[in-house]
């Protein structure tokens, strides 16, 4: 079954706590629902369409989107037939998950069955479809590492499509679904493959400490998920209390020669502004490029106290722009975004790229 609402209020479906609405909202559960929609009401999906997941990574710039918003509400999780034991003796369990399932519910479901793979992604807002688009990541894990297949409905051809994980072209906070070529695909189902074999990832600062007396050998997926929840709650705003879209900016990655320029610009900025110089925090990626911490850049550039109207930066994690008292407008958020980008660019010659999707009333 699908449900159509004209002139729908989307505020409750987004996490910024800023009023938003759309010309038409279609809530669907499955591929079959979208096939029926295309047959019965094709006019609804002929024009502008936006796929809304958990609404935890989107900002409606004008408070309104004129087109049709497709929103998956199917939340079923089913176990696939058991997979053969691999060469390495590893037993895998496949799960088929409808795109509207909350990612955190999937983490709960899998960790309480002792399955490994999703435990470090505990407490991330949003749904499984969004996680597959966005390749959400935290504490040394990325969703893409567990994905095997994504099923979507192509609203132009009106056919279901199935993408292997390779076809999803996953990278840091990136996938094929973020490209223009995939704009007409509505994700309906994701298959993930989890392992019964222990593979704790405890390297990220804070996780080991939060596990307390639990030794690495005794750590279970559920215990790690609980530790991740504890670390997150200390650093990040509680989505039930403070509106935000999580990390607002991506961590920048630059070519190695450009990083030398970044350091020079930063040294000169410190000299000009009387800021104490410290080397730029970074690490080298597998492909030889240099990844920087946006939070560190924002902090060191002196942006933490910035605020515009009701929008400010979360003190413990300035990568997150929050709707501090519930009265921020999209214009406040955008204006704060620009202020941060300008200051970081002045200090480091890097223009931070927002990871939050910003949607205008009409996209084209
Ligand atoms: N830092 C500062 N000042 C601060 C806070 C942090 O300099 O006030 C520096 C610290 O040096 C810290 C570094 O920032 O080492 C990194 O901070 P954090 O560990 O929180 O990780 P992140 O790279 O800023 C990413 C994800 C988060 C995810 C964390 C944990 C992105 C854009 N964000 O943040 O994802 O929870 O790692 O793994 O990659 C999200 O996407 O909504 C999100 C919260």
Instruction: Tell me the whole-structure pTM to 2 decimals.
Output: 0.95
Q: Which of 296, 340, 357 to mutate to test the pocket of ligand 1 (most atoms within 8 A of CB)?
A: 296
Question: DSSP alpha helices (H): ranges in 12-165?
Answer: 31-40, 103-111, 128-134
Return the ligand 1 atom nearest residue 173 CA: 39
Atom 5 of ligand 1, nearest CA residue: 317
Is 139 touching ligand 1 by the criterion CB < 6 Å? yes
State whether the beta carbon of 354 lies less than 6 angstroms from ligand 1.
no
| E strands, the chain, in order | 3-9, 21-28, 49-52, 58-60, 64-72, 77-79, 92-98, 137-138, 141-142, 147-154, 159-164, 185-195, 243-247, 253-254, 282-284, 290-292, 307-308, 311-314, 317-323, 357-359
Rounded (10°) CA dihedral 127, 131, 137, 143? 110
Ligand 1 atom 37 nearest Cα: 138
CB 128 within 8 A of CB 97: yes
Atom of ligand 1 nearest to the CA of 57: 42
Distance 235 CA to ligand 1 centre (A): 9
Please check the confidence at residue 14 and state whether its pLDDT lies above 80.
Answer: yes
State whether the beta carbon of 247 lies less than 6 angstroms from ligand 1: yes
Ligand 1 atom at minimum distance from 232 CA: 36
Name the residue with the closest Cα to ligand 1, atom 24: 295
Query: What are the backbone dihedrals phi and psi of residue 225, each rounded to the nearest 5 degrees, phi first?
Result: -60, -40
Q: What is the pLDDT of residues 126-179, one digit of tens each?
A: 999 999 999 999 999 999 999 999 999 999 999 999 999 999 999 999 999 999
List pLDDT tens digits, range 304-328: 999 999 999 999 999 999 999 999 9
Q: How far is CA 329 from the centre of its chain?
A: 22
pLDDT at 109: 98
CB of 317 sitting under 6 A from ligand 1: yes
Alpha carbon distance 21, 11 (integer Å): 7
Distance 134 CA to ligand 1 centre (A): 16
Residues labelled as active-site residues: 173, 247, 355
What pLDDT is stored for residue 363 in this prediction?
Answer: 57
pLDDT score for 205:
84
Distance 319 CA to ligand 1 centre (A): 7
**Protein residue with least CA distance to atom 10, ligand 1:** 296
Nearest CA to ligand 1 atom 4: 317
How close is the Cα of 317 to the center of ligand 1, in Å? 7
Assess whether the C-beta atom of 318 lies below 6 angstroms from ligand 1: yes
- Looking at the chain, how many residues does it have? 364
334 Cα to the center of ligand 1, angstroms: 21
Three-state secondary-structure class, residue 154: strand
Q: What is the mean pLDDT of the chain?
A: 96
Could you tell me the end-to-end alpha-carbon distance of the chain, in angstroms, rounded to an integer? Answer: 30
Report which protein residue has its CA nearest ligand 1's atom 23.
293
87 neighbors 102 (Cβ within 8 angstroms): no
Q: Give the pLDDT band of residue 364 (cuts 50, 70, 90).
A: very low
Ligand 1 pocket residue status of 355, Cβ below 6 Å = yes
Which residue in this structure is represented by tokens 């933490």?
A: 304
Asked whether 281 lines ligand 1 (CB < 6 A), one says yes
Q: To test the ligand 1 pocket, which listed residue (293, 318, 337) has its Cβ within 8 A of the most ligand atoms?
A: 293
Token pair, residue 297, equals: 């850049």
pLDDT band at 86, cuts 50/70/90? Answer: confident
Sorting pLDDT into bands at 50, 70 and 90, what band is 94?
very high
pLDDT at 85: 67
């Amino acid at each position: 079954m699908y449900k159509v609402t004209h002139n729908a209020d989307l505020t409750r479906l987004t996490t910024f706590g800023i009023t938003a609405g759309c010309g038409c909202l279609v809530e669907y559960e499955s591929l079959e629902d979208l096939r029926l929609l295309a047959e019965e009401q094709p006019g609804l999906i002929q024009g502008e369409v936006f796929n809304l997941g958990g609404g935890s990574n989107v900002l409606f710039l004008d408070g309104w989107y004129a087109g049709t918003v497709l929103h998956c509400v199917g939340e079923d999780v089913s176990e696939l037939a058991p997979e053969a034991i691999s060469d390495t003796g590893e037993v895998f369990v496949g799960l088929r998950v409808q795109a509207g399932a909350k990612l955190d519910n999937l983490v709960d479901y899998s960790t309480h069955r002792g399955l490994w793979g999703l435990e470090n992604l505990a407490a991330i807002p949003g749904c499984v479809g969004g996680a597959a688009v966005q390749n959400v990541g935290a504490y040394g894990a990325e969703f893409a590492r567990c994905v095997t297949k994504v099923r979507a409905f192509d609203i132009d051809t009106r056919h279901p499509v199935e993408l292997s994980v390779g076809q999803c072209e996953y990278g840091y906070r990136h996938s094929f679904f973020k490209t223009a070529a995939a704009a007409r695909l509505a994700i309906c189902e994701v298959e993930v493959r989890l392992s019964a074999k222990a593979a704790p990832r405890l390297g990220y600062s804070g996780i080991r400490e939060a596990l307390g007396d639990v030794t690495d050998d005794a750590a279970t997926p559920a215990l790690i998920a609980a530790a991740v929840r504890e670390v997150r709650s200390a650093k990040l705003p509680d989505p039930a209390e403070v509106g935000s879209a999580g990390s607002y900016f991506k961590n920048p990655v630059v070519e190695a020669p450009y990083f030398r320029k970044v350091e020079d610009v930063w040294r000169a900025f410190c000299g000009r502004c009387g800021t104490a110089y410290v080397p730029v925090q970074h690490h080298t990626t597998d492909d030889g490029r240099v990844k920087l911490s946006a939070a560190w850049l924002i902090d060191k550039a002196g942006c933490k106290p910035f605020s515009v109207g009701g929008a400010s930066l979360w003190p413990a994690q300035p990568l997150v722009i929050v709707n501090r008292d519930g009265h921020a407008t999209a214009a406040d958020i955008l204006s704060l975004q620009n202020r941060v980008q300008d200051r970081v660019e002045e200090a480091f010659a890097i223009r931070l790229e927002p990871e939050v999707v910003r949607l205008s009333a009409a996209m084209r």
